Copies of this chain bind each other. A is one copy, B any other.
Amino acid sequence: MTESVSAYMTRLGQAARAASRVLARTSTGQKNLALSAIADALGEDREALVAANAEDVVAATAAGLEPALLDRLTLTPARIDAMINGLKQVAALPDPVGAVRDLSARPSGIQIGKMRVPLGVIGIIYESRPNVTIDAASLCLKSGNATILRGGSEAIRSNRAIAACIQKGLAKVGLPAAAVQVVETTDRAAVGALITMPEFVDVIVPRGGKNLIERISNDARVPVIKHLDGICHVYVDEAADLAKAESIAFNAKCYRYGICGAMETLLVDAKVAETFLPAMARRFEEKGVELRGCERTRDLIQALPATEADWSTEYLAPILSIRIVEGLDEAIEHINHYGSHHTDAIVTENLGRSRRFLAEVDSSSVMVNAPTCFADGFEYGLGAEIGISTDKLHARGPVGLEGLTSEKYVVFGDGHVRS
């Protein structure tokens, strides 16, 4: 391109800001029509999508991209169908925008309430999966936000082809082209520009590895919805139903090792450890999960010694650290100290301790008698998620449509004045 990257990004930003004003007043019906029209375009242009993606795959293979990332990059017919279904699902979700709550009268005569509104312009920075382009665009569009999407350079041809379908859909229903923009340059300076334009971009959602997210958070001058570690715990209380505890802990670890909601540390109350741990350990061993235990754990079962570093490690692998604790206080203390404020669970039949666990564990999701792997936007009924936030302000946990909005005060008077 002839213009500089920064001039290009400024142009995208200005166009996104203008489009966000239009989206803020677009009806739910029209947004849903746009989502359907984009789904139709993906169906019609299936061959072009596959062809563009094949070029990306060839180039990435030649460049030596590792197999796991190559797999993520590849658009199969099933993945295109999943994108189309995803669009239809988002169209079917209730629109959060415009809802007014707590509208009530004040002694002065005015009425006050809170109205849910779009954030404005959302920048998404992600790596190889081209399907994120559709997931993110659909959630942002439905919540009335303009989007600037910056995918990985290895997926640029796929993303351009998907962007063409999005443009077709937007044009069909008369929405501005800048409602969804895909950054067309692979120049890294584009990311630097995107995260430092608070006048045009209201929030950044980075999706990718911890390094990417930390780098973006450090450099951004725009708020970032972050997802860092998922160091998740299951605590087996003295009043646990041990059969439930075993299936919950097993599922929390083994449902899928690589997800952020996977359990990394199992905490067991000393009062039930001797009864609980041997059978539990056998199940993990049969599954090939490596166990690393505290000293007291290793008195009861075979396990490697856990080091201090283990308590704060997100394995994302068939490895589990196990620690025996003296009751609820020590469990909560451990979780708040070593955990990542993501998702933590207690297994207990005791009401009082379950209530304390919910109130005192400082994590975005706290669970009673359920495995941590349930931490997921689809499982939570959000329809889809743009990410899982480990921040404390604004959205915590899986971020769906509501997390892409905020609330403003609305005030109604009839000529009332302040005296």
Which residues of A are interface residues toward B (Cβ below 8 A)?
Answer: 21, 24-25, 98, 104, 106, 108, 110, 112, 115, 117, 119-120, 202-203, 223, 241, 243-244, 247-248, 250-251, 255, 332, 336, 345, 356, 358-360, 362-371, 373-375, 379-381, 391-394, 396-398, 406-418
Asked if B381 and A112 make an inter-chain contact with CB atoms under 8 angstroms apart, the answer reads yes
A241-B415, A379-B418 given; A396·B368 CB < 8 A: no
Instruction: Report Cα–Cα, A415/B406, bound state, in Å.
Output: 35
Contacts of A241 in B (CB 8 A): 415
Interchain nearest-CB distance for A113 vs B (Å): 10
Asked if B396 and A393 make an inter-chain contact with CB atoms under 8 angstroms apart, the answer reads no
Contacts of A406 in B (CB 8 A): 392-394, 396
The 10 closest A-B pairs by CB, nearest first: A370-B413, A244-B415, A251-B417, A367-B411, A365-B409, A393-B394, A394-B394, A397-B409, A369-B413, A223-B393
Contacts of A394 in B (CB 8 A): 393-394, 406
With A115-B366, A223-B393 already in contact, 17 other A-B pairs whose C-beta atoms are closer than 8 Å: A21-B360, A110-B370, A110-B374, A120-B392, A202-B392, A202-B393, A203-B392, A223-B392, A251-B417, A251-B418, A255-B418, A365-B409, A369-B416, A371-B417, A374-B418, A375-B409, A396-B408
Instruction: Report Cα–Cα, A386/B367, bound state, in Å.
Output: 32
Interchain nearest-CB distance for A336 vs B (Å): 7
Contacts of A362 in B (CB 8 A): 21, 24, 117, 120
Asked if B379 and A336 make an inter-chain contact with CB atoms under 8 angstroms apart, the answer reads no
Asked if A244 and B367 make an inter-chain contact with CB atoms under 8 angstroms apart, the answer reads no
Contacts of A414 in B (CB 8 A): 244, 369
Instruction: Report Cα–Cα, A396/B416, bound state, in Å.
Output: 23
Find the B residue at minimum CB distance from A341.
B408
Find the B residue at minimum CB distance from A347.
B415
Asked if A417 and B255 make an inter-chain contact with CB atoms under 8 angstroms apart, the answer reads yes
Asked if B409 and A336 make an inter-chain contact with CB atoms under 8 angstroms apart, the answer reads no
Find the B residue at minimum CB distance from A363.
B408
Contacts of A370 in B (CB 8 A): 110, 411-413, 416
A362-B120, A364-B408, A398-B409 given; A108·B374 CB < 8 A: yes
Contacts of A248 in B (CB 8 A): 413, 415, 417
Contact of A364 among B108, B223, B356, B409 (CB under 8 A): B409
Asked if A21 and B336 make an inter-chain contact with CB atoms under 8 angstroms apart, the answer reads yes
Instruction: Report Cα–Cα, A112/B391, bound state, in Å.
Output: 19
**What are 14 A-B pairs at a CB distance below 8 A?**
A21-B336, A106-B381, A112-B380, A115-B366, A202-B392, A203-B393, A248-B417, A255-B418, A366-B409, A370-B411, A370-B413, A374-B413, A394-B406, A396-B408
Interchain nearest-CB distance for A213 vs B (Å): 14
Interchain nearest-CB distance for A178 vs B (Å): 16
Contacts of A393 in B (CB 8 A): 119, 202-203, 223, 393-394, 406
A368-B413, A413-B367 given; A98·B359 CB < 8 A: yes
Asked if A247 and B398 make an inter-chain contact with CB atoms under 8 angstroms apart, the answer reads no
Contact of A409 among B104, B255, B369, B380 (CB under 8 A): B380
Instruction: Report Cα–Cα, A112/B250, bound state, in Å.
Output: 21
Contacts of A98 in B (CB 8 A): 359
Instruction: Report Cα–Cα, A332/B25, bound state, in Å.
Output: 12
Instruction: Report Cα–Cα, A251/B108, bound state, in Å.
Output: 14
Interchain nearest-CB distance for A52 vs B (Å): 35
Instruction: Report Cα–Cα, A365/B203, bound state, in Å.
Output: 20
Instruction: Report Cα–Cα, A411/B373, bound state, in Å.
Output: 12
Contact of A106 among B106, B380, B408 (CB under 8 A): B380
Asked if A359 and B25 make an inter-chain contact with CB atoms under 8 angstroms apart, the answer reads yes
